[in-house]
Structures are given as C-alpha cells and as structure tokens.
Amino acid sequence: MKHSSRITSIVTLVIMLLSFTSMASNLDQYVQNAGARQHISLNGQWHRILDPYENGYYNHRYEPHENGYFKNAKAKDKGDLVEYNFATAPLINVPGDWNTQEEQLFLYEGTVWYEKSFNVEKITNKRYVMHFGAVNYKAIVYVNGTKVGEHEGGFTSFQFDVTEQIKDKDNFVIVKVDNRRERDQVPTVNTDWWNYGGITRSVSLLELPERYLADYSVRLNDKGDGVIGMVSVSSPGKKDEVTVSIPELKINTNVKLDAKGMASFDIKANPNLWSPEAPKLYEVSFAFNGETVKDKIGFRSVKVEGTEIFVNGKSMFLRGISIHEESPFGGGRAWSEADARTLLTWAKELGCNFVRLAHYPHNEMMLKIADELGLLVWSEIPVYWTVMFDSKDVYAKAEKQLTEMITRDKNRAAVIMWSVANETPVQDDRLVFLGNLIKKARALDPSRLITAAMDTQSTSANGKLIDDPLAKYVDIIGINSYCGWYSAKPADCGNLRWESHYEKPIIMSEVGAGALKGLHDKKEVIWTEEFQADVYVHNIEMMENMPSLRGVTPWILKDFRSPRRPLDNVQDFWNRKGLLSEKGERKLAWYVLRDFYQKKAAE
Ligand code: GCU
C-alpha cells in the first residue's frame, strides 16, 4: 500500500506543478476585441453540478483527482458506478450568475461545475481560442477532459488556446467555478456587494488564422495631429505587414512588423475629437493574414493641470454617477448590450457626462456603449477595503487584474482614468502596494489619468482636510464622504468646508444616503425619500464650496444587492442608496441631482 500511495502523490505533484506553471494561460498575448473575431458563441444553457465539498476535484485524501468531474465520465453499462452525470444535471444560463437563477443558490458560495457540449467544423490551419468575459471568482477550464488553464479574478477576461484539444464533433467544455471568499484574494472577504458566482459574461470560441493579429491599440497622438498605435501578431514571421485603415480619415497604411512580430505607428491625421457632447467614433480596421479586425474608436486627449481636468484641451466638470454591474431590473449581474444601454441611458437622463464603474472592471459592453453614448469613464480594480497589502501574492493578483483591465479597455476613448483602489486604510504597506500599482498602470498606459477613492481625511478648523499620502501619487483625488448619513446631520453638511494638501483636481467619488422607494414622511425621518433628497441638497451646497472639486459620482445610480444590509422591510439585502429603486423607479433625490447637473451643464 505504502509504495503505491507514494507513486500517486508524486504523480499528483507533477500534475499540480504542470497545471500551475504552464496553464494559467497558454497564450502569451491577449486576443484583442474578441467580439469582432470569427467565433461561435458558447452562450446559452449549460449543465451544472453543485459541488460544495469539491468532490469532483479532490479525492477523499483531499488530493486532486485524476478522474474528477472534468472527465465527464459516462456509465459504460447498467452495473457501472459513476456518481455524477452532466447529461441529466439541471440547466443554467450562461452568461449569468447562479444566485438569481435558483433560489437555493441565492446565498451559495462554493464550487459549481459547468458543462457545455459543442461541435466545430475544425479547419487545419486555424487556431481555436476559448474566450471568457468573466468567471467569478476562480475558474479551472477543461476541454474534452484535458485541463487548458485556470484564472483567478471575477471581473476580467481570459482566454486559452484549445486548438490541440478540440475535434470536429462532440466536444465538451467543463469549468470548475468557485466563488468562495478567501482572505488573500482581490477583493478580499468583505465587500458591500453581492458575491455573484458563475460564468457571468459571454463565452465564445474564436477561430483565428494560424498566425493572427493578437493585440492592437490606437489613440490620438500627444501632439493631437495624428493617430498613434501599435500592432502585434501571435507569432513572428518574415516580411509581415498589418494594414491599418481608417477610411473616414483616408488612412490605409501597411505597417511593417519587426522580428518579434510587433510594430508601432504614428500617422498624420486630423480626426473630429470624441467628447461627451460629440462622441464621434471612427471605424478602424486591422488586416493581417486574411483576417480583418474592425473596431469603433474615438480620438480625444485628456490631462490635468493644477486642479483642472481637460478633455480635448477644454476644462471639464465631471457630472457623474456611480454604478454597480447589476442588471437594471432586480438583482443579478448585468452582462448584455441591453443591460448596458439601459443603465447608461439612465445616467444620461440624469444629466451625466461621466460614470464611475464600481468597484471592478465592468463587462466590455458597458465600455463600448459609454463610447457610443458619450460618457466618460472611471474604471477600477477591486482593491477594496482591507486586502492583504503586505502580501506579494496578493499584489501579484491585483497587478494582474490591473493589466487585464487596461489590456482589454485601452482602446475605449470613454475611459479617461484608471482607479487602483477604494477606501483603503492609510498604512505604509498599502502605500507601497498602491504606489507599485500606479507605476504599473502608468507604464502600461501613459495616456490616461490615475485615481483612487479615499475615505480617510483629517479634521480641520472648519471641516475636513484631504491629507491621505496616497493623494501624492494619483492625478485625480477621489473622496468618499457620507456627510449627513454615516456622520453629522444633513443640515450640517452645507457648512462643511474642505481643504486639500494637494494642488490636484478632486472628484467626490461617493456621497449619498439610503431611502426606501415609496417611503414618505418629514425630511428628518431616516430611510424616507425626503431624507435622502435633503442629504443631496446639503451635500451639493457643501460641494459648491469645494475649491478643487472637478467632478462628482454620487453613490449610486440604483439600489443594489448587498449581504451587509439585512434591515428587514427596509433593506432586505439591498443597499438602498440608489437614486433609482431596484425596479428602476426614480426617488426624489434623483430630481435634486438632475437639477444640479442641469445648472452645472449650463455654467
Ligand atoms: C462605501 C463603499 C461602497 C459602499 C458604500 C455604502 O463607501 O465604497 O462600496 O457600498 O460605502 O456604504 O453604501
């Protein structure tokens, strides 16, 4: 017995080592703009098996199984013992969180196995890449019983080359999804949003040329007299060229690639600039090796000078709102174009030219619709509250999410700032952690601004003093303050004065109060719409007296699910700070903010 178990543990070790090292992603480049590639969608109904004890992954010795559920085993005959069967397992929608699809899964945190079978007309000189928009939180992906990779982080896209694994007929993909919260994760164990589990965004199988255009970026150059960018292909070849075309700008240029299969370009041009008032998008296409990848891209500049934010050289006040990625009606993760269009149209109706997509990268549709509707975007990674700032592993996870976010959304004109954190405690290891993230973001994308939402301020003679040391490293200071809700009385807020140690623009990234839609009474009565509206009135007074205030994104567009909000008959697991109810109904405070934005827009 002893001898054989030693062999099994060596084998298991080898498997684990192999899986960890090579399979995080077997692609060294993200395939840009997956939605614009030749692909088959794997969205729809998948089979699902609940596995709270990870019985499909570990054996009774708590060692990874060789014959786990990923093998999709079938009973050979009536006497054959197989204790799971995807074919008869319940169906679940993908994309979608599991919490709002089955009542028993509303609070479920653990492992769920997903299975989907599919056919492909496999073509020899093609590469097949499986693209996941997002899976919360940990995903291990198997194709036809073979592990192709794993991913950690619930809000960024990932891909695996599955060319070797797929065949023409009867393919199956199995995903082990685990949304358990652990201390060393990003975000960590406590958040004020629902830990929706599942394959929450689209899944597709991309069919690409043997050598294909992997990544590209294009934007207005720093002088504003041309478009600058880069292209890179999956594997270098000889005399490679990529044709970059922007027909409306009469651009049709062959860009020669270097030995690494990469090239940058800076082409003279005079585009109409993208702005919230005129969100001009140009069709841009990249042709390489028989594939043409089309994108819609806006050209604009953004910078800060002193306490001003300039878009296309014009100082701008950012009339914003914070948004969680929840479907417009009811709870559950938003993922579709329709969801994005509804949420962002509500923001436009409020008079916004800006949205804070909190607290994690939202789905790609949100960014593309923001481009189309003309909404500037604050995009953020979930370094939220008390992640383990002293952990190198946790830093690596945060940096990876930052890189994935920037890589996916760098071509969206709407995105003007990357946020590296929300409400993190003032301590040395946090400053080092976030300082390194900021360095990384600037290296990855020198064209955008950096921010973070801070909730620690000191008290000054007549109010608040912005002195968080993190503010030294960002371009724009985000301030979360709940005057009239978590502190002070609404009426006190108008007199609250803000000072800042920094000559930088400030965005009030969170202000607000809770209200239950339909609850009405005198404005002193908490949870009424009148109380919430009153908090807005006085916070607007306060903000009108903030010297460097250049934007505001009140918390929040719509009531959203939170496990931290149990108050019966008022919250019932909803954070009620929305200006809209969970059904999209306007509360009184909606009109207070809309009127303020109308006034601001007219200034
Ligand atoms: C915090 C936090 C939000 C939270 C909000 C609230 O500021 O950033 O995620 O939902 O406060 O308390 O409602």
pLDDT tens by residue, 186-198: 999 999 999 999 9
Ligand 1 centroid to residue 192 C-alpha, Å: 6
* 562 CA: nearest ligand 1 atom: 10
CA-proximal residue: ligand 1, atom 10 (nearest): 192
Cβ pair 186, 163 in contact under 8 A: no
Ligand 1 centroid to residue 71 C-alpha, Å: 42
Ligand 1 centroid to residue 173 C-alpha, Å: 37
pLDDT band at 34 (very low <50, low <70, confident <90, very high): very high
d(CA 7, CA 10): 5
Please state, rounded to an integer, the average pLDDT across all residues of the chain: 95
- Examine the pLDDT at 94 and tell me if it is beyond 70: yes
Q: Provide the pLDDT for residue 19.
A: 45
Q: Provide the pLDDT for residue 16.
A: 46
Ligand 1 centroid to residue 198 C-alpha, Å: 24
Place of tokens 């109060």: 513
Cβ pair 543, 549 in contact under 8 A: yes
Range 423-433 average pLDDT: 98
Residue 463 backbone dihedrals phi, psi, to 5 degrees: 160, -120
Per residue in 325-336, pLDDT (tens digit) is 999 998 999 999
What is the CB-side half-sphere exposure of residue 453 using CA atoms within 13 A?
28
Range 344-371 average pLDDT: 98
Q: Provide the pLDDT for residue 25.
A: 64
Cβ pair 466, 307 in contact under 8 A: no
Q: Provide the pLDDT for residue 507.
A: 98
Q: Provide the pLDDT for residue 249.
A: 98
Residue 167, CA distances (Å) to 163, 171, 173, 399 in order: 8, 7, 12, 35
pLDDT band at 172 (very low <50, low <70, confident <90, very high): very high
Residue 320, helix vs strand vs coil:
strand
Cβ pair 457, 505 in contact under 8 A: no
Say what the alpha-carbon torsion angle 387, 326, 403, 381 is, to the nearest 10 degrees.
-30
The DSSP code for 90 is P
* 358 CA: nearest ligand 1 atom: 9
* 512 CA: nearest ligand 1 atom: 13
- What is the enclosing helix (H) or strand (E) of 596? helix 588-602
Residue 274 backbone dihedrals phi, psi, to 5 degrees: -75, 135
- Examine the pLDDT at 22 and tell me if it is beyond 80: no
Ligand 1 centroid to residue 127 C-alpha, Å: 44
- Whether omega before 520 lies within 30 degrees of 0, making that bond cis, reads no
pLDDT band at 21 (very low <50, low <70, confident <90, very high): very low
> Which residue from 194, 454, 510 has its CB within 8 A of the most atoms of ligand 1, so it is best to mutate?
510
- Examine the pLDDT at 5 and tell me if it is beyond 90: no
Q: Provide the pLDDT for residue 26.
A: 76
Residue 575, CA distances (Å) to 320, 366, 524, 559 in order: 19, 22, 20, 6
Ligand 1 centroid to residue 424 C-alpha, Å: 12
* CB of 575 sitting under 6 A from ligand 1: yes
Q: Provide the pLDDT for residue 574.
A: 98
* CB of 379 sitting under 6 A from ligand 1: no
* CB of 423 sitting under 6 A from ligand 1: yes
* 480 CA: nearest ligand 1 atom: 7
* 384 CA: nearest ligand 1 atom: 8
Range 134-151 average pLDDT: 98
Per residue in 201-242, pLDDT (tens digit) is 999 999 999 999 999 999 999 999 999 999 999 998 877 899
DSSP helix, strand, coil percent of the chain (3-state; round to 5): 20, 30, 45
Give 408's contacts (C-beta < 8 A, 6+ positions apart): 30, 156, 157, 361, 364
- Examine the pLDDT at 4 and tell me if it is beyond 50: no
Place of tokens 């109409």: 272
- Examine the pLDDT at 64 and tell me if it is beyond 70: yes
* CB of 195 sitting under 6 A from ligand 1: no
- Examine the pLDDT at 6 and tell me if it is beyond 50: no
**Which two tokens mark 581?**
């109810």
Q: Provide the pLDDT for residue 438.
A: 98
User: What b-and-e string marks burial along 222-236, b requiring 16 or more CB atoms within 10 Å of the CB?
Assistant: eeeebbbbebbbbee
* 514 CA: nearest ligand 1 atom: 13
* CB of 191 sitting under 6 A from ligand 1: no
* CB of 559 sitting under 6 A from ligand 1: no
Range 350-371 average pLDDT: 98
* CB of 577 sitting under 6 A from ligand 1: yes
Place of tokens 């007309």: 121
Range 74-98 average pLDDT: 97
Ligand 1 centroid to residue 411 C-alpha, Å: 29
* 577 CA: nearest ligand 1 atom: 13
Ligand 1 centroid to residue 378 C-alpha, Å: 16
Q: Which of 364, 386, 366 is nearest to 376 (CA)?
A: 366
Range 63-67 average pLDDT: 94
* Selected residue with higher pLDDT from 547 and 222: 222
Per residue in 554-588, pLDDT (tens digit) is 999 999 999 999 999 999 999 999 999 999 999 99
**Which two tokens mark 63?**
């060692």
Q: Is 62 exposed, middle or buried (0-12, 13-18, 19+ CB in 10 A)?
A: exposed
Q: Which of 256, 117, 125 is nearest to 174 (CA)?
A: 117
